[in-house]
Amino acid sequence: MGTNRYEQTQVLGPNDRSNICTSPLIICFHGSGDSCASWSELAQLLATSYRVLLYNRGPSNPDSKASTKSLVQYLAEMQLGPPYVLIGHSYGGNFAREFLQQRISDVIGMVLAETGQETALDPVMEAHQYKRTILGTKPLSVIRANSMIGKMKQLEEKIQHAQGDEKLKSEIRNGTEFVMVEAWDKEDERLKKRQLDLSKNSRYLHIPDCGHHVIRDRPDAVAGEVRWVMENCNNVPDKQSHGVMKKLWGKLLR
């Protein structure tokens, strides 16, 4: 547990001190207006096998650069060395990708859940990350849920209430609301799949029966993607350099 400066920030994991220097640290980036609390069930699922950092950005709502600077300082103070696997949800994807930009050599894998639709990401940095395929062959999982599931259910209920009135049903299906929801669904899919270009070793998971809060509502599915990343990150080319870093951190913790 951190100090008051890092209130609600937690490090979870197996009760094995040797594991501190032998496994990657999973860093969780929560969304805007959210907190680490919604990650509780997912963190518990992962912490049986992995080290997990629930990093709380606090009430000041810092921008991505300031938040990354604070996180890097926290990692140094708490002696939480690389390698790192990042999980970003919603607006937290901006912070995960800023951290990736600044600490690319320390990151060996990534999970992006319901991210990609935010506009706060530096467009120059974003274009650069895609152009260079910033993760290389490091594993990346992109998770898309169904952020319009509630609205679609409302429209389907209207159609059901129309019963045998085919004209009314047709008006609903061709109405502005229905058309906008379908258009957003297509654009959302495009934005999510665009992120796959961050890595040459990426995969895509669509969970259509879950809303935007996939971390909270489907922690099992997210945990499965994290496990896939963890199982595949051992094959990254710079594994040897991370082994050196682990030894250095191990000496510091003795």
pLDDT at 62 exceeding the cut of 90: no
State pLDDT tens for residues 171-210: 767 777 778 888 889 999 999 999 999 999 999 999 999 9
Q: Which band of pLDDT confidence, cut at 50, 70 and 90, is reported for residue 254?
A: very low
pLDDT of residue 16: 56
pLDDT of residue 17: 53
CATH for the stretch 4-252? 3.40.50.1820
Q: How many beta carbons lie within 10 A of that of residue 226, not counting itself? A: 26
Show Cβ contacts of residue 216 under 8 Å, excluding neighbours closer than 6 positions. Answer: 38, 39, 41
Q: Which band of pLDDT confidence, cut at 50, 70 and 90, is reported for residue 240?
A: very low
Query: Which of 213, 211, 212, 155 lies closest to 182, judged by CA?
Result: 155
Q: What gap in Å lies between CA 191 and CA 180, rounded to an integer?
A: 16
Q: Which band of pLDDT confidence, cut at 50, 70 and 90, is reported for residue 128?
A: very high
Task: Identify the residue with better confidence: 23 or 128.
Answer: 128
At position 195, the amino acid (one-letter code) is Q
Mean pLDDT for the stretch of residues 212-235 = 94
State pLDDT tens for residues 87-102: 999 999 999 999 999 9
Q: How many beta carbons lie within 10 A of that of residue 37, not counting itself? A: 11
Kindly state the DSSP code that residue 91 receives in the 8-state scheme: T
Query: Which of 144, 90, 72, 140 lies closest to 110, judged by CA?
Result: 140
Separation in Å, CA 47 to CA 13, 113, 164, 187: 4, 19, 53, 35
**pLDDT > 90 in the chain, percent:** 57
As a residue count, the chain comes to 254
Mean pLDDT for the stretch of residues 39-54 = 95
